[in-house]
Amino acid sequence: MTTTQSILTVLAVVLGTMATRFLPFLIFPEGKKPPAFISYLGTVLPYAVIGLLVVYCLKDAVFTNLHGLPELIAIAFIVALHKWKHNTLLSIAAGTVLYMALVQTVFA
Protein backbone atom coordinates (compact mmCIF):
# COMPACT_ATOMS: atom_id res chain seq x y z
CA MET A 1 0.00 0.00 0.00
CA THR A 2 1.38 3.38 -0.93
CA THR A 3 1.55 6.31 1.46
CA THR A 4 -1.36 8.02 -0.28
CA GLN A 5 -3.50 4.89 -0.04
CA SER A 6 -2.62 4.52 3.65
CA ILE A 7 -3.60 8.13 4.38
CA LEU A 8 -6.86 7.77 2.46
CA THR A 9 -7.66 4.54 4.30
CA VAL A 10 -7.03 6.15 7.68
CA LEU A 11 -9.15 9.16 6.70
CA ALA A 12 -12.01 6.90 5.58
CA VAL A 13 -11.88 5.00 8.86
CA VAL A 14 -11.78 8.23 10.87
CA LEU A 15 -14.74 9.68 8.96
CA GLY A 16 -16.74 6.48 9.34
CA THR A 17 -16.05 6.35 13.06
CA MET A 18 -16.87 10.01 13.59
CA ALA A 19 -20.10 9.66 11.60
CA THR A 20 -21.30 6.75 13.74
CA ARG A 21 -20.41 8.66 16.92
CA PHE A 22 -21.81 12.11 16.06
CA LEU A 23 -24.77 11.30 13.78
CA PRO A 24 -27.13 10.20 16.58
CA PHE A 25 -26.53 13.49 18.41
CA LEU A 26 -27.30 15.44 15.26
CA ILE A 27 -30.45 13.45 14.44
CA PHE A 28 -31.76 13.39 18.04
CA PRO A 29 -30.71 16.60 19.80
CA GLU A 30 -30.88 16.87 23.62
CA GLY A 31 -34.22 18.65 23.95
CA LYS A 32 -36.04 16.66 21.27
CA LYS A 33 -37.87 13.44 22.20
CA PRO A 34 -36.81 10.51 20.00
CA PRO A 35 -39.46 8.53 18.12
CA ALA A 36 -41.14 5.67 19.98
CA PHE A 37 -39.42 3.07 17.80
CA ILE A 38 -35.97 4.41 18.72
CA SER A 39 -36.87 4.37 22.42
CA TYR A 40 -38.12 0.80 22.02
CA LEU A 41 -34.85 -0.24 20.38
CA GLY A 42 -32.95 1.39 23.23
CA THR A 43 -34.70 -0.84 25.73
CA VAL A 44 -34.69 -4.08 23.73
CA LEU A 45 -31.32 -4.14 21.95
CA PRO A 46 -29.03 -4.46 25.01
CA TYR A 47 -30.73 -7.74 25.99
CA ALA A 48 -30.62 -8.98 22.41
CA VAL A 49 -26.91 -8.21 22.15
CA ILE A 50 -26.13 -10.00 25.42
CA GLY A 51 -28.14 -13.02 24.25
CA LEU A 52 -26.28 -13.01 20.96
CA LEU A 53 -22.93 -12.86 22.74
CA VAL A 54 -23.85 -15.76 25.03
CA VAL A 55 -24.89 -17.91 22.06
CA TYR A 56 -21.73 -16.95 20.16
CA CYS A 57 -19.48 -17.77 23.11
CA LEU A 58 -21.10 -21.15 23.73
CA LYS A 59 -21.53 -22.27 20.12
CA ASP A 60 -18.33 -24.34 20.11
CA ALA A 61 -18.50 -25.52 23.72
CA VAL A 62 -18.70 -29.27 24.21
CA PHE A 63 -20.83 -30.27 27.20
CA THR A 64 -19.73 -33.87 27.62
CA ASN A 65 -17.78 -35.20 30.61
CA LEU A 66 -15.80 -32.34 32.16
CA HIS A 67 -15.27 -30.36 28.96
CA GLY A 68 -18.18 -27.98 29.49
CA LEU A 69 -17.72 -27.60 33.24
CA PRO A 70 -15.63 -24.37 33.15
CA GLU A 71 -18.27 -22.70 30.99
CA LEU A 72 -21.11 -23.83 33.24
CA ILE A 73 -19.28 -22.73 36.41
CA ALA A 74 -18.49 -19.33 34.88
CA ILE A 75 -22.09 -18.85 33.70
CA ALA A 76 -23.48 -19.74 37.13
CA PHE A 77 -20.99 -17.37 38.75
CA ILE A 78 -21.90 -14.53 36.39
CA VAL A 79 -25.62 -14.98 36.97
CA ALA A 80 -25.22 -15.13 40.76
CA LEU A 81 -22.89 -12.13 40.85
CA HIS A 82 -25.18 -10.08 38.64
CA LYS A 83 -28.24 -10.95 40.73
CA TRP A 84 -26.30 -9.91 43.84
CA LYS A 85 -24.53 -6.71 42.66
CA HIS A 86 -26.59 -5.64 39.60
CA ASN A 87 -23.40 -4.47 37.90
CA THR A 88 -22.97 -5.65 34.32
CA LEU A 89 -19.32 -4.68 33.92
CA LEU A 90 -18.37 -6.35 37.20
CA SER A 91 -20.22 -9.51 36.20
CA ILE A 92 -18.56 -9.68 32.79
CA ALA A 93 -15.07 -8.92 34.10
CA ALA A 94 -15.25 -11.29 37.07
CA GLY A 95 -16.78 -14.05 34.95
CA THR A 96 -14.03 -13.69 32.37
CA VAL A 97 -11.32 -13.81 35.03
CA LEU A 98 -12.90 -16.88 36.66
CA TYR A 99 -13.30 -18.68 33.34
CA MET A 100 -9.71 -17.99 32.30
CA ALA A 101 -8.44 -19.11 35.71
CA LEU A 102 -10.45 -22.33 35.49
CA VAL A 103 -9.35 -23.12 31.95
CA GLN A 104 -5.66 -22.40 32.55
CA THR A 105 -5.25 -23.95 36.00
CA VAL A 106 -8.00 -26.31 37.17
CA PHE A 107 -9.05 -27.78 33.80
CA ALA A 108 -5.72 -27.43 31.97
Residue 78: CB atoms within 10 Å: 21
Does 74 reside within a domain?
A: yes
Pairwise CA distance, residues 31 & 52, whole Å: 33
Taking residues 18-27, report their average pLDDT.
Answer: 93
- What's the pLDDT score for residue 108? 82
Asked if residue 95 is part of any domain, the answer here is yes
On whether residue 8 sits in a domain, the answer given is yes
Q: What is the pLDDT of residue 16?
A: 97
Q: Cα torsion at 13, 16, 18, 24 (round to 10°)?
A: -160
Give a yes or no: residue 67 inside a domain.
yes
pLDDT of residue 58: 87
Total number of domains in the chain? 2
Q: What is the pTM of this model?
A: 0.62
Question: Average pLDDT of 34-60?
Answer: 91
Residue 50 included in any domain: no
pLDDT confidence of residue 65: 76
Contact 103, 70 (CB under 8 A): yes
Structural domain harbouring 22? 1-32
